[in-house]
Amino acid sequence: MEELPWIEDTGKVAPKDARQLSKLFLDRLKVLEEGTHEYQYARNTLIEMNQTLVRFAANRFRNRGSGDMEDILQVGTIGLIKAIDRFDLSREVEFTSFAIPYIVGEIKRFFRDTTWAVHVPRRLQELRADLVHAQERLSTALDRKPTVAELAEDLCLSEDEIIEGLVAANGYTAGSLDLPMDGTGETDGSGQTLADVRGECDPEIELIENFHALGPLLEQLDERERRILDMRFVREMTQAQIGGELGVSQMHVSRLLNRTLTALRTAMLTES
């Protein structure tokens, strides 16, 4: 590996040494061609050497919610990868200072998107927190539960906004489908639960089989075909952007995509 030291065990690299080595690897990463063995080595080594940053950031969220630490570390690593891909040495900023906000931001986004039993807009999630504090404060002052009008006045919002926030707050937690029909947690003698009378077969369940069938077929594609699919459907780049990165026309990208997708569809139909 020219110009880059071979690191057999990144876990044994001291944090101080990791900072120095990261500068070297980041500098080389910017001039290496994406997709090459050298590029993958430099990028993967940077990710592994800087796992201490992920663990440092993740420890701040150890006792928050019900998030499993392994999940938090994985999400934090996604933030680290984004920091590596977007870091610019010319800014003369320490990589650790640049990476931590990306890691923490990714973890916060994870909690924001997974803590609620039903996903609601960020605006309503924040409104729920304000409502909880306002209800506690007004309940103490009034010695009773506040009305919608009183909450609206306290938070300087309209009554419609308060009602919307209260309805959305119902999505924070979910009741069990194993509860008896009366919803109180006490048996009503019928033995019937909510699961017995709610729900139906999800037609989208068939997609799971398609995803399983698609995996091995993707592995049979060459590096360029997989890269184009990744840019189009994972990174959500336009055909023009893909063409600019590959140095080909948008029309050529369109033909490559159509050819690859047609081959995948044909292979899936053949297997089924």
Task: Give the chain's mean pLDDT.
Answer: 81
Same domain, yes or no: 242 and 207: yes
| CATH number, domain with residue 84 | 1.20.120.1810
Same domain, yes or no: 14 and 52: yes
Least confident of 80-84, 86-90, 238-242: 86-90
103 inside domain: yes
What pLDDT, on the 0 to 100 scale, is given for residue 258?
Answer: 93
**Euclidean distance between CA atoms 63 and 184, whole angstroms:** 30
1-45 pLDDT tens trace: 457 888 878 877 887 788 888 888 888 888 888 888 888 998 999
Least confident of 35-44, 74-83, 262-271: 262-271
265 inside domain: yes
Domain boundary among 86, 114, 142: 114
Same domain, yes or no: 20 and 103: yes
Backbone angles phi and psi of 22, in degrees to 5: -60, -40
| CATH number, domain with residue 188 | 1.10.10.10
- Domain count for the chain: 3
How would residue 238 be classed by pLDDT, with cut points 50, 70 and 90?
A: very high
Q: Range of 164's domain? A: 122-197
15 inside domain: yes
Same domain, yes or no: 71 and 93: yes
Task: Tell me the mean pLDDT in the region 57-79.
Answer: 81
Indicate whether 69 pLDDT > 60: yes
Domain boundary among 197, 227, 249: 197
**Euclidean distance between CA atoms 135 and 127, whole angstroms:** 12
241 inside domain: yes
Tokens of 32: 């290496």
Same domain, yes or no: 71 and 144: no
Domain boundary among 197, 230, 259: 197
Q: Which of 122 and 233 is assigned the larger pLDDT?
A: 233
87 inside domain: yes
Task: Tell me the mean pLDDT in the region 259-267.
Answer: 89
Same domain, yes or no: 95 and 138: no
Same domain, yes or no: 27 and 97: yes
Cα–Cα distances in Å, from 49 out to 12, 60, 182, 255?
9, 20, 55, 40
Same domain, yes or no: 126 and 108: no
